[in-house]
Each structure stands twice: as C-alpha cells, then as structure tokens.
Structure 1
C-alpha cells in the first residue's frame, strides 16, 4: 500500500474546532470509518506521580493502513516518543504484561495540553478501547513484532532472520569444532608424550636388565625372554597389560639378584635403589600453572606470563628477549649468549629455568680445556672406572628426571678454544632425526668388569648352601669364618698373602664405575645446551664452525635498559596472579626434528640465496644451506610468539649473519671495498625487506647494528668486526 500523509503548518490549523481537527487527522491517516484506530506497544512509566515518565503507547501504526502514524504537523513531541495513556499500570488495569502489543482508539488530548505542546493534533489513548493483540492486523509492514507471549513475523522477515540465526549457529558450530580439534590435537600430543616416556622408561629398564644379566649366571636365559617381551611391545600394543605383568616379574627377579649383591656389599644403597626403585624419574612438586590447560598452549601468552613472573622476582627483561629466547629453546640448537660481564646472560638461564619449573646447571669453563675429555671426562683403566665431569653428571641427572627441563650453561665458554673441547659434542648435536648418543668409553671395558664380577658371584653362589648352614648372610660374616675364607681364596686362586677384603673393594669400585657411568649416554630430550661468552682480550673468538651451528644472542649492559618501557609492556598484559611457575611438557619446549626443506621458490630461501651470492660470498662470510634451513625453522617457531615475520628475519640476521662479520673492510672486491659493499648493497637490501625497523629498539635492530659496524670500522683502520 503506497499512501502519502497530508501535513499542515501550524498557522493553517490554529483556531480550528476539534471536529475540524479530527477531519484533518482522518484525511492525513486515510481513515474512512471516522475512528483513529491504531496498534502498538504499551509500556509502563517509571514515575506516574510527577509524570516524568508516564505510561505510553509506542511504535504506533494505523489498523486500517498498517502505516506508521505521525502527527500531520512538525510537533515538538512526535508520535515516535509515544502517546500518553492515563493510568498507572498496564498489569493493574488490563491484566496484561508490560511491553505487550495492543490495539486502541485515539482521542484528542485536552486543549490545554495541546496548547502547551504547540500541537493541535496531540492525542491520548482512549483507555476503554485498549485490547491486547492476539493476531496481526490485516495491514502489517515488514517489521518484527515481539511480545512476551507471542511473536508475530512476516514471512520474508522470518526467512531473513532465520538465515541470520542459522548463519550464527553455523559459525558457532565451526568455532566449537575448531576448539574440539585443538583439544583433540593437544590430547594426541599428550598421548604421544606419554608413549615416548613409556618407551624411554622401558629402554632404561632394559639397559639396567642387560647390565645385571651379564653379572648373574642365570641372566642369559632372562635376556632372551626380555628380548621377546620387547618384540611383543613393538608388534602387539594390545598386550601391554600382559607385558606389564612380565616386567613386574622381571623387576622381582632383578631385585632378588640385587639384594644378593647388596647382602655381600657389592652394591651400595644408591645403586640398589636405582634397580628396585621407580624408573619414571622425579616429578615437579608443588603448585604449578599448566601451559596447555591454563594458557591453551598459546606461546604468546606464555611470554607475557614469564615476563611478568620474572618482574615479580625483580628480574627485568624486555619482551623481545623472552620471545627470542623461548623460540631458540624450541629449536633444539646450541644457543650462545654474548655480552659483557654482568649483562644478564647466566641470570636469564637461571631465572627462565625457575619460571618454567626447570633446572639450570652452570658449568664454568677452564682456560686449560683442550679436548672433549675436559668436557665429558675419561675412563681410567687403572681404576677401571669412568671419571665424570660436572657436565656429564648434569646430563645423567637430567636423564633421571625426564619430565623436568634442564638448561646446562657453559659459562665463559670461550675462555678455552671452543672448537677444541666442544667440536665432537657439537657434531652430535647436529643429529636431528633422533636424540644423539655419545660414546664415553669402549663397551669392552664394561664387559671385562662384568665378566670378572660374574665369576665372583658364581663362586659365592656355589657356596651359598654352605654359607646358609653356617648362618653367613653377608660379607663380614664370610670374612669371619676361617673355613669359608680359605675356601674362597682357594676358589679365586689367592695365596695367604692376598687380601680378600682388598679384592672385594676393587670389585665394588669397578662395579660402581660401570653402573654409575655406562659406556654411552643418549642426550636426554629434556636438555638444552647454552653457552655464555664474554668478548675481551682474555677470550677466544668463536670459529666459523661454531657460529655455523649456533644462534648468538647479544646482550648489552642492563644499565642501558629502558625500565619504564618494560613496566609498560607488563602492565598492558593485565596479569594478576603470576607467582607459580608456568610448566611445559618437554615436547612443548620443542622436539628434535629435521629442519624444514630448502625450496628455491620460498621467499626466505630466495632472499638469502641472493644475498649469499651478491654479498656474503664476496665478503668471505660462510653461509650455507644448513644456515638457511635453521632460519626457516626459527621463523616458523617465532610465529607462535609474534606474527611479525619481518621481526623474525631481523632476529635471524642478528643470530646467524652478523656474528660472522669479521674482515678487512678496506679490501677491494669488484667495484667496492668490503665496507662499501656492506653499506651500499647489504644495508639497503635489509632496509627494503624489513619495513618495521623503526618499530624495533635500536639495540635489537639488524639495520642499526650494520650501521654501527660500518661506523666502527671507519675508526678502526677499516676493520669490520661484529665483536668489537
């Protein structure tokens, strides 16, 4: 229905009688039956006494035309603000609810009200005509009409809102599905972690069983059974319950043999407990915050939590350093923290470890270290035992606690030449398909010790019945029995001058050496190796081999730090309770896996391949395929804490490229000197690629670092040296 409403100016209708005004309203609203019948929503006023908020009728439409009713004059109080209803309560008068839709008839308001409001057409609701709507009027616009008991909808409106609701439901279902998928993925990760822990526990138990199998006469048969059990574990996972029972019997057997060795003082309590005790390693104690449960595995939120947690312990680091360090931890690569003494390198290792419920081990490097023996220890053939170092002891401790992250820091790493004592170990760290294993000494040495012990046990076992009859149940009683003492010496081929006690002590030391330090050790998955270096006249520069395999984080004096900026960062997180450590599963701190593949079409690979050809090679800076793949791995992991890819590339250049810049800048290469190649080719390339350098603090910006390199070279006889 298309009807136009007639409107009047005030001077046109002033002085008209009520009958004439009614006639004008009929004509304006297209009324044909002589009644101003309308419908709309009736609502209670909040204060009827002083009439500030009287009961009114809103959303008024004509019953005859369905059009919105408006006064045919420009009034101060249009109908959209409601029409006065002269009673206090909708419920009290009509027994209907506030906000209901009703039909009614309108009458002209008292003349004094119309004059007061300068609206000759002002109407009030005729109270006796009010009726609640139970169905839509004949003429209805395409509006949604909602009552507390009924909902009236036009079909087109219904379809429209149905689609909107349907779309919202679909969106919520999709979000719920994604959340469920994330939770399933997290659960699968936990299951995988537990399976790995179970396998590691089984492997450790197998190793202990193998050691004892070589010391006890009947263990050869048990070794075959144990091998069969391992095959069943690998091929028939459904038989884990049956296998568990077999392992319990095996543990009982091992315990009985261990008790035999302990009773004759071949085993100390420490080693006895390691055989009969739990193999699962210690768990973290006390209250903790779970990374996966409390933070929904968000590494960005983890950075916020850790930074705030450290601040509460008066340890202040900018967010950039926490983001960078956490990402490097997850790469499973060697991390080198470089800076002046007191710049916060070892403090970062220690405080970060505490913040995540881990353990830090600070191993001081000595200037006289020249080989891997200084790092890992060596086997003493005279004492028939391995002399371990604090570094190896830290690895063994980490192995005993596989669920706790260990951060082993070689402090002042470059006091000795790193390539002398660390090269072999560094080569092992390059293994990415599995946890690398280090051979400490020959397996034959351990075999010789165990073979000799086997003979001793055999002699004592053969005489066991006689010992029992005489009440001899330990080594002291055996030594006090002259007859048995003589028999043992005869069996061993000893003379009267030989000391059985001394021989017993030798066997104890040899067995302790074999059990305490096995011939090989696998680097535990919960270990991260970190180096801390100072650069001064007392230290050595890092060789290209070391730099090629490590990530370098450079620190400056904390006195130059913008403390207010750090507090502003932390305040923006809005975190309150950060007293508990934030605990990660070991897999959540990064799993050792092959680096991403090098693909020529990848922008990152293409950019650094071009730089290598046009800059690095000319400068004599070694930059290979592995470095690019390490960069791909770092950039991928960094995206979990910060989605700024430009910042990730900035960090990679600081870690892997600039530390290799040590050369004579005056040397000519083509049309430029090396220093000019850096300032005129390399620097512009970085500035064009990294568009966010203005947002990065100068100390963390690779372009600012390159500018400082060039400027320092000018005052240093043209020598470009990142470490100067």
Structure 2
C-alpha cells in the first residue's frame, strides 16, 4: 500500500489544474484505478443544512482518507452531498451506510473552504449499503457487496475495534494513575491555599481601613461641592430672571409686529384681495386643529420594539379584513423606515394600494393615491407648472399632497403613485427622485422663479397704494371695502385715472386678476421642502400596456413583488397571528414621524464588513459578467436595510434573501444566450450563480413566494421557454 502520509504545500496545490490535483490524491492514497471510491455512514446534521460522510474510508484499502495537506487531520468538513439527495437515501432514518465515488468540488466551493483538494460526492454514484453481515462459528455469510459490507471490511473493522479496546483499557489505567497523582497534588494545593487565604484576609482588613479614611476625605469634598452648587444655582436664577426680562421686551415687539401684520392683512381682506381663511392665517387667528388622540403608543405600549409592533400590525390589519403574512409586514415596515423609494410590483388586484392605504390607517397616517396618466412625459406632469399669462402656479394632485403634508408635519403621509409605469418613469419622475437622494438634509424643490412672486407682490403694493391714495384724496373714510369703492364715483374715477384705465376697462376684472395672482403666491410658494413625514411609494403592473423600469430607477428603489392574493395561505397567516397571543387588536398605533424612520446618510462602505465583502465578490463573479449594474450606492442601501431589518428579525440569511429580491433580480433583463466564460449567461445563472446563493442560504426557512432561490428557478424556466431571454418581470 502507498504511503498515506504524503503531503503537498497548499500554495503549490492551488496552482495545479484538476488533472494534477487528482494525480496528487491518487499518489497520496495509493489509488491505482484512477477512481476515488469510498464507503461510510451518511448523516444529516440537526439543522438540516449539511449532509455527507464525515469519516470516509477507501473501498480498495479500507483506510480512512485525509487531504494531503500538512496538519489536515481527519477529513476537515466531511464529504458533502445535497441534503435533498441525502434525505431520499435516509428515508426517515438517522443514518445509513453508503458507498460512492468522489470528485473535486466546484472551484468556488474549494476557494470558499480554502482547500484546493476539497471533494464532494457524485450523486449518481451513491449505492446504499444495508446492515453488516452476521457471523457463524465456522463461516461468514456472503452476499453481493451492493447489499452487504464485504467480509474483508468487517474483519478489518473487528480487528481495529479489538485493538482500540485494548488501547482504551491501557489509556484508562494510565488515566486513573494520573487522577490519583493529581488528587494528591490538589490536596497539598488546598492546604497551601488555606494559608494564602488567611494572609489575604489580613491584607483586606488593612485595605478596608484605608478605604474608610478615603471615604472621610470624600465626604469633606462633597460638602465643598454642595456649597459650590448653591452658588451656581444663585447665578443661574439671576440669568433666568434676566432672560424673562428680555422675553418680556421681545413679546412687546412681537405684539407690535403682529398688530402691523393684522392691519395690512385686514386691508387686503376688506378689499377682497384675500379670503377669510388666508386672513386668519396671516393674522395668527387660524385655529390649530386639536391633537389627534386615541390609539396605542409605540413607546408605552410596545416598549419601542419593532418586532412587537410587526405582530400587532399584522393582527390589526387582519381585523380590518386585510390578510398579509408576517414577512410582508416586516419587509414593508423596514422599507418605509429607509426613506427610500419603495415600488410595489404585481398583478392588478394583488393588494398593492390596499397595503399602502391600510398600513397608513394602522399607524395614524394619511394615504394619498395619485393615478399616473399614460401621457406624462416630464416633471411638469408630476408637479405642475407656472403659467406666466395668469401669473399663477397650476398645481397637480401630487403637489397638493406635498403641500398638505407640509401643513401637517406631525402626521405621516404615504403618497402612492398608482400604476407608476403607465408612463416612462424616468421621464416624469427622475428629477424628483434625484431630490429624494439627498440624505443629509430635507430636499428642496424650486417650483418657479422667486422673481415671479416678487413681481406679483410689487404689483399688489402698487394697487394698495393707489386705493389708499384715492381714499385720502377725497377724504372717503367710509370706503372700507371693494363694493363701496366701486359705488363711490369720485374714488372710482380717481382709480381709473391712476391705473390709466379708460371707461371700457374693468376695475372688477383687474381686481379679480390681482386676487388670483396673490392667492397663487400665498398658496404655492416658489420653493417647497419635502418634509420628513412623507414616504413615496410606487405601485406598478407588468403587462403589455406598461413600461419597464430603467436601471436609474431600479438603482435607487426597492422592489417588493406581490403574487395574487388567491395564492395566499390564509390558514398559515391565522396560525402566525394566533401564536402571538395578543388580546384586543382594534386600536391603531400612533407612530411619530421619527419612529417611521429618520432621513440620514447611508452607512459607509467597509471592506472589513461581511455584507460588503460578499456583495463585492458577487458583483465580480456574477453581476458584472452578466451585465447587471451594481454599484457602491446599492451596497450602502443594503447596509441601511440590514440595520433596520434587524429591529424586526435577526436572521442574516433572510436579510440576504430579501436584498437580492429587492435590488438584484429586478435587473435581470438580458439575452441569456450570450457567452460568459466557457458557457452562456443562462447556464451560468442556473449552475453557478444559483449554487453559490444556495450555499449562502443553507438552512433558511422561507415561503416559496418570498424565496430568492425559487425566483431564480422561475427566471431560468421562463427564459428556456422564451428563446433564452432572461427577464425577471416576465
């Protein structure tokens, strides 16, 4: 038999091709027929995410195999077999004996395990072995090796067991002698330690006396600090008194300013340039709506725990007739907290807008559903535009929703662009989306030029000056509103003269024009800030009447894909909710804007971070060769998503699964027949990319509807049925 201790340097081995690696294994294990055939016990671990033979032996020699690397020990991780194949062979048993042929594992697996010789089981070579043969006094029962282990293996096993038993007995006797010697040493040590403890007690008594002395010093210093605090308090009281005096003076100035504003606003109201509600707002008389009361508190009732909140929201929505799995609520709540654009994709009637509306109601917010029209081609269709002829801004429902949210900063607003891709999203939404990318501060939108607003206000000042001048000239103090002004012949004539109007010109029409321009300036400022209480959601259908999302949109958005609610497992949702053991779930939850997520910069990219390393490697090995755009921003979005998702679920594998579904697979739209390496793109997805993701997600339990592995399988099946065209959306 060949020398089984033959080893190779790992750096040398990594430079060899597969044929050379096989040759090294044949030489190290004394294999003549160039086939590595072994037998052993097939097992599946408790988690169900690994199966294989941990102590394989060669069929030719019955010798245990180990990799020919220095200090490799027994086979490091065993020989791997797919858990699905293993369960079929086990057929409900904990373990079985098999014999099989081994082959080099994939290049990625060898690299991942840092072992150039890493082997795996060829699934089609596995043969099941039953129980060991029974012995009689005279002979061994013989049968085909496909059914029983051979006599040679059994006798070798028996001899080995006897030798191991003798060795174990010798080791036991030696261990007893060691224990007796250690007992004597321990007895002597305890005697010595008792003496040491007595000495330490004496030392501790001395230290206690020293500490008592320091305590007395501390109490003396405490008295000094107390006297200093009293002096500082006196000084603070003096400062507070001075501040109150300053606030009193400021209050008088503010009151005078308020009276001035009320006087000017009153003039505009009397002459019907503004309405009562605008006057109330300018004069400070507008009644502020009462704070919304009722509902549960995130802090008091849920202890600021997003996992508890998720359970309650799922149960609350069920009570409202909306059935969503926990996975959907966890994912949607997390995406809302990212302050990124969230796009809900699915067939018509799959519950996209229902989720937006019901979730908004459940957290004390407001949902605004804005239908997108097929003819939208620019940002003006989304936000409106300034009409220079009418000197006013023509707003859209989307802009009106932004303005309403600005007026109610404490209420969460969920603005949903329904059927977002009826028009090309990159045409009408790209500029607004660029504004949303601002993470350091609330983004601003310039609706129209400040000069336009200044022009309107300048014209208004001229009108007010002419009216006041006409009243003063004819001493018409009784003319206090526009109707009286029009009925007074002297003032009316003076007004036309001052404006340069003829008898044919209408003061009433001009008054209406000024009123309309002023209302536009007051109602829609030239610049608005997108407030923190706004979340933007898109809802899209994918059919022949819609447009695909461009890479620019996909790069900045998170995609949640929905299936038909008729495919939902209602019973499973009921079981989830029952497992929470909740009581009354009829009250909504009053979430503050900050509790729904604060807009802040994404976490920084760190090469040392496991998530960053993984997606950098995936981009190099898969995304870039496939032609899928994947950049630094996407990884930083992933870091942000991971940090927030851990508030509801600590499963790292589920985070990876979800992020691949949100940010990677939606970009899979290309010709799968194009070459990549020694294969084509579709083959690479099916055999290489899928295998690596499967290894990363071993042990993950998630419904097929939300599984990235199932989604990849569907992409492959669809592509094969469509001339190898890869399309996630088809």
Deviation string, structure 1 residues 230-255 (Cα, Å, up to 9, x no partner): xxxxxx99977865665454334322
Match of 2:726 among 707, 720, 723: 720
Displacement of 1:347 after TM fit? 0.2
In 1: Cα distance, 2:447 partner to 2:721 partner? 49
Q: How many pairs were matched up?
A: 490
Say if 2:614 is the partner of 1:611: no
Say if 2:517 is the partner of 1:510: yes
Tell me the residue number matched to 1:272: 279
In 1: Cα distance, 2:668 partner to 2:625 partner? 12
Tell me the residue number matched to 1:681: 688
Displacement of 1:273 after TM fit? 2.6
Say if 2:710 is the partner of 1:710: no
Displacement of 1:444 after TM fit? 1.0
Tell me the residue number matched to 1:96: none
Q: Where does 1:244-255 land on structure 2 (aligned, <5 Å)? A: 246-255=253-262
In 2: Cα distance, 1:651 partner to 1:576 partner? 31
Tell me if the contact between 1:283 and 1:403 (Cα under 8 Å) persists in the aligned partners: no
Say if 2:652 is the partner of 1:645: yes
- 572-581 or 332-341, larger mean C-alpha shift: 572-581
Tell me if the contact between 2:471 and 2:477 (Cα under 8 Å) persists in the aligned partners: no
In 2: Cα distance, 1:392 partner to 1:305 partner? 33
Tell me the residue number matched to 2:629: 622
Q: Where does 1:475-554 land on structure 2 (aligned, <5 Å)? A: 475-554=482-561
Tell me if the contact between 1:337 and 1:532 (Cα under 8 Å) persists in the aligned partners: yes
Tell me the residue number matched to 1:394: 401
Q: Where does 1:352-363 land on structure 2 (aligned, <5 Å)? A: 352-363=359-370
Q: Where does 1:153-172 land on structure 2 (aligned, <5 Å)? A: none
Q: Are residues 692 and 446 of structure 1, via their aligned partners in 2, closer, same or farther at CA, if it must alter by over 3 Å?
A: farther
Structure whose alpha-carbon radius of gyration is higher: 1
Q: Where does 1:551-590 land on structure 2 (aligned, <5 Å)? A: 551-590=558-597
Displacement of 1:493 after TM fit? 2.1
| RMSD (CA atoms) | 2.1
Tell me the residue number matched to 1:258: 265
Tell me the residue number matched to 2:322: 315
In 1: Cα distance, 2:275 partner to 2:463 partner? 17
In 2: Cα distance, 1:239 partner to 1:328 partner? 47
Deviation string, structure 1 residues 272-293 (Cα, Å, up to 9, x no partner): 2332347896455341111112
Tell me the residue number matched to 1:325: 332
Tell me the residue number matched to 2:431: 424
Displacement of 1:469 after TM fit? 4.5
In 2: Cα distance, 1:249 partner to 1:422 partner? 46
Q: Secondary structure at the match of 2:445?
A: strand
Q: Are residues 242 and 682 of structure 1, via their aligned partners in 2, closer, same or farther at CA, if it must alter by over 3 Å?
A: farther
Tell me the residue number matched to 1:664: 671
Displacement of 1:460 after TM fit? 2.3
After TM superposition, the score normalised by the length of structure 2 is 0.65
Tell me the residue number matched to 2:702: 696
Tell me if the contact between 1:551 and 1:656 (Cα under 8 Å) persists in the aligned partners: yes
Say if 2:443 is the partner of 1:436: yes
Tell me if the contact between 1:281 and 1:403 (Cα under 8 Å) persists in the aligned partners: no
In 2: Cα distance, 1:471 partner to 1:301 partner? 67
Q: Are residues 351 and 379 of structure 1, via their aligned partners in 2, closer, same or farther at CA, if it must alter by over 3 Å?
A: same
- 591-600 or 680-689, larger mean C-alpha shift: 680-689
In 2: Cα distance, 1:601 partner to 1:244 partner? 56
Q: Secondary structure at the match of 1:485?
A: helix
In 2: Cα distance, 1:601 partner to 1:562 partner? 41
Tell me if the contact between 1:659 and 1:722 (Cα under 8 Å) persists in the aligned partners: yes
Tell me if the contact between 1:282 and 1:400 (Cα under 8 Å) persists in the aligned partners: no
Tell me if the contact between 1:356 and 1:584 (Cα under 8 Å) persists in the aligned partners: yes
Displacement of 1:622 after TM fit? 0.3
Q: Are residues 356 and 613 of structure 1, via their aligned partners in 2, closer, same or farther at CA, if it must alter by over 3 Å?
A: same
Displacement of 1:653 after TM fit? 0.7
Match of 2:379 among 367, 372, 380: 372
In 2: Cα distance, 1:281 partner to 1:437 partner? 25
Tell me the residue number matched to 1:290: 297
Q: Are residues 720 and 356 of structure 1, via their aligned partners in 2, closer, same or farther at CA, if it must alter by over 3 Å?
A: same
Displacement of 1:572 after TM fit? 1.2
Q: Secondary structure at the match of 2:417?
A: strand
After TM superposition, the score normalised by the length of structure 1 is 0.65
Displacement of 1:270 after TM fit? 2.9
Tell me if the contact between 2:338 and 2:599 (Cα under 8 Å) persists in the aligned partners: yes
In 2: Cα distance, 1:244 partner to 1:325 partner? 47
Q: Secondary structure at the match of 2:292?
A: coil
In 2: Cα distance, 1:554 partner to 1:434 partner? 30
Match of 2:306 among 280, 286, 299: 299
Displacement of 1:520 after TM fit? 1.4
Deviation string, structure 1 residues 614-640 (Cα, Å, up to 9, x no partner): 100111100000000000000000011
Tell me if the contact between 1:281 and 1:400 (Cα under 8 Å) persists in the aligned partners: no
Deviation string, structure 1 residues 636-664 (Cα, Å, up to 9, x no partner): 00011111122112111110000000111
In 2: Cα distance, 1:361 partner to 1:467 partner? 54
Tell me if the contact between 2:280 and 2:286 (Cα under 8 Å) persists in the aligned partners: no
Tell me the residue number matched to 2:98: none
Tell me if the contact between 1:412 and 1:533 (Cα under 8 Å) persists in the aligned partners: yes
Q: Are residues 351 and 410 of structure 1, via their aligned partners in 2, closer, same or farther at CA, if it must alter by over 3 Å?
A: same
In 2: Cα distance, 1:237 partner to 1:373 partner? 50
Q: Secondary structure at the match of 1:678?
A: helix
Displacement of 1:719 after TM fit? 1.1
Q: Are residues 685 and 279 of structure 1, via their aligned partners in 2, closer, same or farther at CA, if it must alter by over 3 Å?
A: farther
Q: Secondary structure at the match of 1:386?
A: strand
Q: Are residues 648 and 447 of structure 1, via their aligned partners in 2, closer, same or farther at CA, if it must alter by over 3 Å?
A: same
Tell me if the contact between 1:284 and 1:404 (Cα under 8 Å) persists in the aligned partners: no
Q: Secondary structure at the match of 2:368?
A: strand
Tell me if the contact between 2:474 and 2:490 (Cα under 8 Å) persists in the aligned partners: no
In 1: Cα distance, 2:336 partner to 2:576 partner? 22
Tell me the residue number matched to 1:150: none
Displacement of 1:260 after TM fit? 1.1
In 1: Cα distance, 2:247 partner to 2:610 partner? 48
Displacement of 1:692 after TM fit? 3.5
